[in-house]
Amino acid sequence: MDSLLYPVIVPFAFPQGLPRDRQRAWSRLYSRAALGVSARLSGAPCGPCAKDARGAPLPFEGWRWTVSDTQGLAAALVARRPAGIDVERIRPVSSALLRRLATDAEWERAGGREPETAVRLFSAKEAVLKAVGAGLAGLAKCGLEGRGPEGNTLLLSFAGRPYRVVQTFLKDAVVSVALDAHPGADVAWTVCCPWPDPGPGVRL
């Protein structure tokens, strides 16, 4: 199984005056562009980006894919192994979400409930949920177990199975890649600016 993963991050801006109902499609364009770059770096074919009835990405030719986007940032990853990617802007988190996101013991392991810590934990859990193909309904099964020896790594579990989440930071945002806890796996981050060519086979 490939030990190096190539997550791709694409910063972008909406065209001036773009209607709000078009912004989702614009974000999706950049997500697919990032997906095409990750596929090329990984040596993967560009597939149809099909999803199942629940909206979960379907593998193609033995490759798995995962995408995420938020205001002005898109991220994607193509890999042989189960993996999930998530990007979030660092912002205040409501008390209701803080209670739902983690237990008191998890917050103690995280080192506090400040916005950066909370968003970092939320992004890590979201990446794990994508890796296992679960939605936010599975949040209660996803727990923070501790931190890795590197400052950019969190150790999580889902239903008792361990996952390692590697993170990187861009100004006021965090990007998380979740993968199984196999010690030989690593990530090589790529930030594309300006927007790259989506490449052949990437369907918008």
| pLDDT(115) > 90 | yes
Give the pLDDT band of residue 184 (cuts 50, 70, 90): low
Structural domain count of the chain: 1
Burial of 20 (0-12, 13-18, 19+ CB in 10 A): exposed
User: Which tens digit of pLDDT belongs to each residue from 6-60?
Assistant: 999 999 988 888 898 899 898 999 999 999 999 999 999 877 888 888 888 999 9
Residues written for the chain = 204
Give the pLDDT band of residue 200 (cuts 50, 70, 90): very low
Domain interval for residue 19: 4-191
Please report whether residue 70 resides in a domain: yes
Say which CATH number the domain at 65 has.
3.90.470.20
The string of DSSP codes covering 90-122 is -----HHHHHHH--HHHHHHHT---HHHHHHHH
Please report whether residue 122 resides in a domain: yes
Q: What is the pLDDT, as a whole number, of residue 185?
A: 75
Please report whether residue 199 resides in a domain: no
Please report whether residue 198 resides in a domain: no
Please report whether residue 200 resides in a domain: no
Please report whether residue 108 resides in a domain: yes
User: Which tens digit of pLDDT belongs to each residue from 62-114?
Assistant: 999 999 999 899 999 999 989 999 999 999 999 999 999 999 999 999 999 99
How many whole angstroms separate alpha carbon 36 and alpha carbon 157? 29
In terms of Cα–Cα distance, which of 137, 136, 108 is closest to 122?
A: 136
Please report whether residue 182 resides in a domain: yes
Please report whether residue 196 resides in a domain: no
